Structure 1
């Protein structure tokens, strides 16, 4: 194994993989790139916070000890409560990164070979899909304090995620220009898996919260701003998946005090599943539901006819629950290392 391995070399490989190889040579979608970026950030967090590494001390050779990776996968299961399917996806992302590194520098091939020896975890294909009841969803949506800016943001995020049944990655990629505030037929435009684009009709109750949210977060309208963002060094940056998971988990914990039907583990994707189940139970035909969800499976999409937007809207209206919030509540005025290392090398 070569002796010149350095952390800067490792981060340079990561930067090229995320910003050059994936988008230019593989022509992969932003969602796929983001999934790999998220996995690498989680792996680095594990190395720093659980193993005690300094970020700048992490090298390619750090992962010569395959126990670092297997420990990371165990940590995903025990601490982050990830399902086996999610853990397998994270492992696949890590393998892809080190396959690229081995291609760039042949002396690192042994690390990639060891990663291939890590077995995939068994996935129960017959496992029942977890979803929230309408009562549980109402309880969670009632928890954010919409008098605060963050509370209003969190309430709108969860409401929009449920109403649109969008994936978390799709939600975080929505820009202001993707929301059409049409009084008769408002909708949001999302980029789904496999670059499949779709427009999703939105209910007026969701748009009422949207108007309050825009008033507090987008006073100076810029069509290219992300709908949901964080401020970093004075700039609006895309919000992270970790941020979403944290506030959803927080409100789920609060909701358990008022509703006994809250699932043990509430995660962002459960809002999509819950919306789909509620629509199906309220009469939306499966072909129309598949169109609404933007399923990419060829065997599924080939047998489904294109759905009329107004048909979607009528089915959605039938399943829409009460998402009202007090429109009169005041919104406070906006108050205006390691993080930089990750940003410089394309990890943020």
Structure 2
């Protein structure tokens, strides 16, 4: 008796419901991101190609169609090159899974995916805050009210900890141990990896006072930061908080905050300021939870402000005190 052929959609269902969470151990947020790629792909197939999802087969997705889909993402959905490449990576990851489980049906699909190159994006500088901008940003929330106190604590905590937005959302009271001069925190990062970090006294005291203010200091399962409608804050809520205060900052301080900023900009800022302060790269890597030191090395590109200060120091040291070697010798 011949084995029953498993459909494309059945493979996709097993991939999301069993393989990614159980075998790979990926977090729910990562799986949601992967699912979004295929949801958008099915939308493209139906609206542009007239192919309903129940008619999709591995042979449907040849390299030409995948290229059309990626171009459609950029032109019709205004996706960045980075997002376009992420969608391709999600499709490629599934093609490996499918080929390993149904070689006869999926090998051509896998080979077609391999023919599609990633697109090179124009290099952009990483947006980060200067020290003056950080100080200004911290002063914007009105901490005399509930929302302002939460927002100020969140901004200060993200700078002190260098955490990702999702890591802040996942933070519970039980993840934190307070000491007289610091706080030790277990951060649940990408791939369900946990790292232990410390934050200094000022940030620790602010965080503790906020948790005490919320009367949740003994509720270890409670999330530290909540929205007005949910016990656990979402990434989109953090994005709205940043958008709110950065827009306010740009209005009140037009000479500052000249770039586009996101919650991840604060993580860039923490890394940049640590490296500028002389913290060893390997320490920064472990603090941020990077898998590779190469990722951390991106932050070694120092800011223009730092470069200007170092050049000024060099000029002051070597030229201003003794400039006799620059005097006009009239050809002598």
Deviation at 1:274, TM superposition (A): 0.7
Deviation at 1:256, TM superposition (A): 0.8
Number of the residue aligned with 1:272 = 267
* CA 1:214–1:299: 2 relative to 1, 3 Å: closer
Q: Distance in 1 between matches of 2:147 and 2:11?
A: 36
Deviates more, 1:209-218 or 1:270-279: 209-218
For 1:201, the equivalent position in structure 2 comes to 198
8 Å Cα contact 2:138-2:156 kept in structure 1:
yes
Gap regions ≥5 residues in structure 1: 302-348
Which deviates the most, 33-42 or 277-286? 33-42
Aligned residue number for residue 122 of structure 1: 120
The aligned residue for residue 288 of structure 2 is 293
> For 2:151 and 2:47, how far apart are their aligned partners in 1?
33
Give 1:21 deviation, angstroms. 0.7
Q: Which is richer in helix?
A: 2
How far, CA to CA, are the matches of 1:217 and 1:74 in structure 2?
A: 46
RMSD of Structure 2 on Structure 1 (CA): 4.3
Cα distance in 1, alignment partners of residues 73 and 259 from structure 2: 23
Q: 1:165 aligns with which of 158, 162, 165?
A: 162
Q: Secondary structure of the residue that 1:199 maps to in structure 2?
A: strand
- How many residues align structurally? 280
Mean Cα deviation higher: 106-115 or 143-152: 106-115
Q: 1:85, 1:123 within 8 Å by CA — same for their partners in 2?
A: yes
TM-score, normalised with respect to structure 1: 0.62
* 3-state SS in 2 of match to 1:119: coil
Relative contact order (alpha carbons < 8 A, sep ≥ 6): 1 or 2 greater?
1
**Residue 248 of structure 1, aligned match among 242, 246, 264:** 242
Q: Secondary structure at the match of 1:161?
A: helix
Q: Give the 5 Å matches for 1:24-43.
A: 24-26=22-24, 28-30=25-27, 33-41=28-36
Give me the TM-score of the superposition, normalised by structure 2: 0.64
Task: Extract unaligned runs of 5+ from structure 2.
Answer: 1-5, 297-332
Shift in alpha-carbon separation, 1:255–1:228, aligned structure 2, 3 A: same
Counterpart position of 2:135: 138
1:21 aligned to 19, 22, 27, which one? 19
Cα distance in 1 between the residues matched to 2:55 and 2:147: 39
1:280 CA displacement: 2.2
